[in-house]
Amino acid sequence: MEIGRWRRQEAIALAIVLLIVVGLPAATLGYQFGLRPLLSANVQEVEIVGRLPERGGWSVETVRVQVGKPVRLILTSDDVVHGFAIGKMGVDAGWVYPGQPKVVEFTPQRAGRYTFYCTTWCAEGHWRMRGTLEVYDPQDPSAVNEPVDPPQTDWQAEGIDLDAPHLAEIFPAKRPSAARGAAIWQRTPELPTPDQVLARLDLRRQSPAQVFEMLQEDRVPDLALAPLGRMPEGDLWDVVAFLWREGTAAESVELGRELYQTNCAACHGENGDGQGPAAASLLSSSMERDLQGKHGPQSPADFTDARSMAGGTGMIYYGKLVRGGMGTGMPYWGTIFTEQELWALVDYLWTFPFDLSTQER
Amino acid sequence: MTQARAPASRRRRAPTPHPVSVPRFELTSIRWLDAILRWRPLQFTLIAATLGFFVLAILTSLVGTPVGNRNFGIIFVWIVWWALVISLLVPLAGRLWCAVCPIPAPGEWLQRRAFIAPRPLRTLGKRWPNRLKNIWIQNFAFLGVAVFSAIILTRPAVTGLVLLAFVLLAIGLSLVYERRIFCRYFCPVGGFIGLYSMIAPLELRVKDPEVCRRHKTKECYLGSENGFGCPWLVFPGSLKRNAYCGLCTECLKTCSMNNVALNLRPPGLDLLVSKERGLDEAYKAFIMSTCALLYSAILLGPWGALKDAANMEDWRTWVVYAIGFIAMNLAVVPGLFYAATWLSRRWARLSHAPTRQLFIDFAYALVPLGLMAWIAFSLSFVLVNISYALPVLSDPFGWGWNLLGTRDFPWTPYFPARIPYLQVPILIVGLIFGLYITWRIANEHASAPEQALRSVVPIAALLLVVTFGFLGLYLG
Ligand code: SF4
Ligand code: SF4
């Protein structure tokens, strides 16, 4: 009787122990790796863990998904706040807080290689936090190797040296104002319309200093701009600012502002003065600091510096954005931003040397 | 059977007088509680429950998300379990955790070849060497874990491997030696719990040692058809301190004389049992207090470099850190304490007591302060992080499950600004308790109150300095 009871108890106990030691792992792992993929066969789930670049960056660096098949990314951070976005796909998860999973879902529509990246300054090597999203299309298997919408410009063919300094001989003494320029233009009825002038200029390939000189010397083809040549230099710089504002779409500047504040301000500063919170650590991490002093080539560009900005062209900035600054902390954005976004950023850069607001301040 | 019933009725009529004349309440005089404690499947049932959590903790640690605060293993082992053990179980119930701990269970079941029914043990029958019958291994094991703690506590995979290593070691030892050698001599957590369990107001003791002395068969130690011999190698008949009794209630079941009881008693009594004090235990007290102090400095202090070193950011600084950590535990703090003891002996003219003896005895005064420092220190991260428990219950592996619908429960630190207001009184209680124990120990050696008072002063001063050190860290 007693023996029988012992036996029964032992059998139950053994069953419980087996259930815990064998059943529990089998059930959880079986569900996750067997049943779950079966149940959600039409959604691909990928977990990506963000860690500081020196601790490995994104834990999955290459993610392969399929055109037309929904993807669910489960994003987490292991240490600090990271941001997550996929360039050229319009997927932006925003901030990913440590330990708080963030789920983003999307359905890739075009095959090719995309770059995902951290969108917030997380550490000195922040720009290294990148990974590749390979979108595979069974109909076009080789497309997965092609970067999506690569920038088309050939700088060599254009004769542009992205690393050459571009300091202007002539540059404004104080920040030119587009609003004042507009008022000046209105006061001078002999001038053609701004659109007529802009039709003959190429603001992406001409620097403000070049445009200034063309206006001053009345060298714009087929147009008579003599009154401009007689103006004080300060006024003419206001006119240049005015033309720059007229030549750029307000929406593009706004898009550029958003992109800049998210991706560039940490180094270049919210005001474009090159004094972003990350600038100091970039410098201190660089041996250049000792060799070249604070204004050595490693410091982020100062977009409020009139001399350098008057000498640079949109094309140069566009090129630097695409390629990144070799040897500096400047990341290459060519795989991330679309053509439109790159130019929007360039458009926004002009708001630093020029006051492009419509009201005079 | 008749034998077992007779003392029970006697007990209900009049509680047995206890050798140490302090008020005690015999919990086992409550009939239903007594019945539960004697129910053979009790321990198995409790262990089965903790085993479930334990297996899940190892699984999630090894294959779940590497993000610590989303991993069930990290949160439930180092936040929930730790909070439970340090702030509730140890101070209130001593070694109760050891009674339900799943780590030694597989090994024990294997040597018993049974889960519930008593059977003769089957092992290689080796005897544990006499010179290792102390807790030095445990002390070093604790130090070993402590020095790597920043890694173990934050990396799920490391936690999983450490837990697994504990189980495997326990199984290995069970196959070679009889009973719970792992618990008694190895388990670093057991060392911690054992030391501080001496404070608990719960104890398992025999009702009348005289009955034990006369009782020839000593079933409680040797085992009988009613139960196993004490798995902790303790003879209940001479048990005076909680330190090594795992509260498994086996002796309660085996003792045919019904001479074993579970009592409530004033806290801290065991610290005054002078006969069983030893250098190994004194060192445990130093190690525990020093670790509490060092952890507070690392995690709450303003020294980022120290935190980085503990986190093994670079192995060379870590080696320096580890050497410093171990030196603080084994040399600096004990050295300071030795100096205080030496002063105390000189000043109070306790020439009849060897300094070494005083050093060991006074070390027990660190126990209450140390426990309270651990509780205070633990509060600072437990209250801040305990809210992670809800999401990980729903999504233990961090795989995006939502079992209970609490996966997205946001991280909510509880009273972060008020934590120091809780820490300070807790620490003060520890200090007062520690001073009281110092005073009682001093009186064991002194022949007059003035002499006792003099001998207390240097130790009390050291306790005060340590307390101020903690307060400084808590209040920033
Ligand atoms: S506790 Fe019970 S079994 Fe053990 S010696 Fe005492 S009376 Fe005997
Ligand atoms: S003394 Fe009794 S309760 Fe304590 S460990 Fe031994 S058998 Fe278990």
**Model pLDDT for residues B329-387, shown as the tens digit of each residue:** 999 999 999 999 999 999 999 988 999 999 999 999 999 999 999 999 999 889 989 99
Among chain B residues, CA nearest to A73: B400
Per-residue pLDDT for A95 more than 70? yes
Q: How far is the CA of B250 from the centre of ligand 1 (A)?
A: 12
Ligand 1 atom nearest B209 alpha carbon: 6
Q: Which of A17, A25, A74 sits opposite B115 (nearest CB)?
A: A17
- pLDDT band at residue A326, thresholds of 50, 70 and 90? low
pLDDT of residue A24: 97
Query: Of the residues B16, B204, B210, B215, which should be mutated to test ligand 1's pocket, given the most ligand atoms within 8 Å of the CB?
Result: B215
Query: Chain-wide mean pLDDT for chain A?
Result: 88
DSSP per residue, B100-166: H-SSSHHHHHHHHT-SSS-----S--BPPPGGG-SSHHHHHHHHHHHHTHHHHTT-HHHHHHHHHHH
- pLDDT band at residue A294, thresholds of 50, 70 and 90? very low
pTM comes to: 0.71
Residues with CB under 6 A from ligand 1: B 206, 211-212, 215, 218-220, 236-237, 251, 255, 257, 259-260
Cβ(A65)–Cβ(B354) below 8 Å: no
Cβ(A356)–Cβ(A178) below 8 Å: yes
For residues A360 and A322, which has the higher predicted lDDT (pLDDT)? A322
State whether the beta carbon of B236 lies less than 6 angstroms from ligand 2.
yes
pLDDT of residue A284: 54
Residue A230 half-sphere exposure toward CB, CA atoms < 13 A: 8
- What's B67's DSSP letter? -
State whether the beta carbon of B234 lies less than 6 angstroms from ligand 2.
yes
- What's B83's DSSP letter? H
Cβ(B142)–Cβ(B192) below 8 Å: yes
Nearest Cα residue to B291 out of B365, B361, B393, B366:
B366
- What is the C-alpha to C-alpha distance for residues A8 and A14, in angstroms, rounded to an integer? 10
- What is the C-alpha to C-alpha distance for residues A130 and A53, in angstroms, rounded to an integer? 9
pLDDT of residue B7: 40
pLDDT of residue A293: 44
Ligand 1 atom nearest B213 alpha carbon: 5
Closest-CA residue, ligand 1 atom 6, reads: B212
Query: Of the residues B250, B252, B254, B263, which should be mutated to test ligand 2's pocket, given the most ligand atoms within 8 Å of the CB?
Result: B250
pLDDT of residue A283: 59
pLDDT of residue A277: 81
Cβ(B156)–Cβ(B64) below 8 Å: yes
Extract the tokens encoding B363. Answer: 């070390």
Q: How far is the CA of B24 from the centre of ligand 1 (A)?
A: 20
Backbone angles phi, psi at B30, to 5 degrees: -80, 120
Interchain contact, B400 vs A103, CB within 8 Å: yes
Region A157-177: mean pLDDT is 89
Interchain contact, B65 vs A47, CB within 8 Å: yes
- Tokens 């098949």, residue? A69
Percentage of chain A beyond pLDDT 70 is 93
Question: Taking the C-alpha atoms of B173, B176, B181 and B185 in order, what is their torsion angle to the nearest 10 degrees?
Answer: -70
Kindly report the nearest CA distance between residue B108 and chain A, in angstroms: 13
Helices then strands, each counted (H, E), chain A: 16, 8
Kindly report the nearest CA distance between residue A7 and chain B, in angstroms: 8
Interchain contact, A21 vs B55, CB within 8 Å: yes
CB atoms within 10 A of CB A67: 18
- What is the C-alpha to C-alpha distance for residues B386 and B259, in angstroms, rounded to an integer? 42
B160 touching chain A per CB within 8 A: no
